[in-house]
A and B are shown apart, each in its own frame.
Chain A
Amino acid sequence: SQTIHQWPATLVQPVGSPLSLECTVEGTSNPNLYWYRQAAGRGLQLLFYSVGIGQISSEVPQNLSASRPQDRQFILSSKKLLLSDSGFYLCAWSWASGSKTQYFGPGTRLLVL
C-alpha cells in the first residue's frame, strides 16, 4: 500500500529565515505530487504540482519554490520567510493517469514570527 510522509510536523521560524519542508511517498512510482497551503480558517490553495522529476509547475506567484529531486520526494522551500507564509502545508499524491483521487499527507504547521 502507499503511504505519504511529511516532516517536520511543526515548525516555528523567524521572519527572513529559510525554509525546507519535505514530502516523501512510498509504495508507488512516478506519482503526481502536490503542495497545498491552508491558511487559518480557510480552504486549500494549490501552490505547486509535479508530474515528474525536475518538473515543477507553480499555480500562484509567491515567496516559495518547490523541487523534486527524486521520483517520490517533493520539497517546498523559501529563501526568506514572510509572516504571510504561516499556515498548514499539505503534500498530496495521485496516480499519474486514470484516477484523479489525491491522497494527502499529515501536514506541516508553519508559524513565522
Chain B
Amino acid sequence: AQSVTQPDIHITVSEGASLELRCNYSYGATPYLFWYVQSPGQGLQLLLKYFSGDTLVQGIKGFEAEFKRSQSSFNLRKPSVHWSDAAEYFCAVGLSGGYNKLIFGAGTRLAVHP
C-alpha cells in the first residue's frame, strides 16, 4: 500500500541554522511529490512539487527539496531558517491515475528559537 513517512514529529532549530525535514514514501510507480506548510489555524500552502526532470526542485520562501529515487526520499531543506518558518510541514505523494489522490505524511512541527 502507498504510504508517506515523516520520521520527525517535532524539530527545533535556531534562527539562521540550516534545516532538513525528512520524507520517505512507499509507492510502486513514479511518484508525484509535494511539500506543504501549515501555519497554526490556517490552511495548507504549497511549498514545492516534483513531477519529473531535475531532481532538485526549488520552491517558495527559499525552500528546496531533492528527490532520490534510490532512497524513496524527498527531503525538504532550507539553508537559513527564519522565525517565520515555524509551522507544520507535510509531505505528500500523488498517485497516478484516478482523481488526483494525495497521500499525506503525519507532518513535522518546526519550532524556531531566536
Interface residues of A (CB under 8 A from B): 6, 32, 42-44, 46, 49, 51, 57, 88, 90, 92, 94-95, 99-107, 109
Contact = CB atoms under 8 A, between A and B. Distances in A.
Interface of B: 32, 34, 36, 41-46, 49, 51, 90, 94-95, 99-102, 104-107
A43 B104 contact: yes
Q: From DSSP, what is the main secondary structure of chain A's interface residues?
A: strand
Contacts of B36: 104
A94 B44 contact: no
Contacts of A109: 41
A1 B43 CA distance: 18
Contacts of A101: 34, 46, 49, 94
Contact of A105 (B43, B95, B99): B43
B51 to A, nearest CB: 8
B86 to A, nearest CB: 16
Contacts of A94: 100
Contacts of A104: 36, 43-45
Contact of A102 (B100, B105, B106): B100
B48 to A, nearest CB: 10
Contacts of A107: 41-43
Contact of B99 (A6, A51, A88, A106): A51
Given A94-B100, A107-B43, A100 B94 contact: yes
A94 B106 CA distance: 21
Contacts of A92: 44
Contacts of A46: 101-102
Nearest to B45: A104
Contacts of B101: 46, 49
B104 to A, nearest CB: 5
A100 B90 CA distance: 16
B42 A106 contact: yes
B109 to A, nearest CB: 9
- Which of A100, A103, A105, A106 has the most chain B CB atoms closer than 10 A to its own CB? A100
